[in-house]
Amino acid sequence: MIERAKQLIMPILIGGVFIGGLVLMFTGNNTSSRGDIQVGSAIVPELTALGQQGKTLFDANCASCHGQNAFGTAVGPPLVHTIYNPGHHADEAFFRAAGGGVRAHHWNFGNMPPIATVTPEDVAQIVRYVREMQAANGIAAQPHTM
Ligand code: HEC
């Protein structure tokens, strides 16, 4: 009688653990689409803590030209753009841009001046933010071909 009960219960227990694991896999670990919101044509993901700090710094120091959500303005290009994918503009490009400015070469907005209000630590957080925005908007690293 006890043996029979074990035979009935064991598969249920094992099945329960298995299904529980599946549920965790799909709910606990999936950050790719959770919390994304659409703002205009931008998809704004749920940012990491670093990404969120980067956004605050970006909004204060870069958004006047590079725009809300890094989608560009009339005076500066979008950084959420395939040109700035990590394969073509590695993170160093951001440190160089903020530290020394940029001579116009991809667009017709004119030069970017050096941004004296940010430290390299700030730029590291800004890069994190821009990369999270790029990833959410389908911009993946491509090999440098230009
Ligand atoms: C006064 C306007 C302005 C501000 C403020 C500004 N940028 Fe720019 N930025 C530009 C323009 C214009 C370009 C495009 C130059 C070109 O034609 O390639 C540019 C280009 C860039 C590039 C591409 C560099 C490359 O190697 O091609 C990066 C990265 C960048 N900006 C980062 C930033 C960051 C980070 C901030 C804030 C700390 C910032 N910019 C603030 C105007 C601005």
- 120 Cβ closer than 6 Å to some ligand 1 atom: no
Measured CA to CA, the distance from residue 9 to residue 18 in angstroms comes to 14
- 31 Cβ closer than 6 Å to some ligand 1 atom: no
Sequence-ordered list of residues with C-beta below 8 angstroms from that of 112, at least 6 positions apart, any chain? 65, 76, 97, 101, 102, 104
Question: Own/partner pairs for 70-73, CB < 8 Å, 24+ apart?
Answer: 70/129, 70/130, 70/133, 71/40, 71/41, 71/42
Q: Which of 56, 88, 112 to mutate to test the pocket of ligand 1 (most atoms within 8 A of CB)?
A: 112
Residue with tokens 């073509």: 88
Determine the length of the chain: 146
Pseudo-torsion of CA 127, 131, 132, 138, nearest 10°?
A: 160
Q: Which of 58, 65, 144 to mutate to test the pocket of ligand 1 (most atoms within 8 A of CB)?
A: 65
103-145 pLDDT, tens digit per residue, is 999 999 999 999 999 999 999 999 999 999 999 999 999 877 6
Going by pLDDT thresholds of 50, 70 and 90, the confidence category of residue 8 is: confident
Distance 29 CA to ligand 1 centre (A): 35
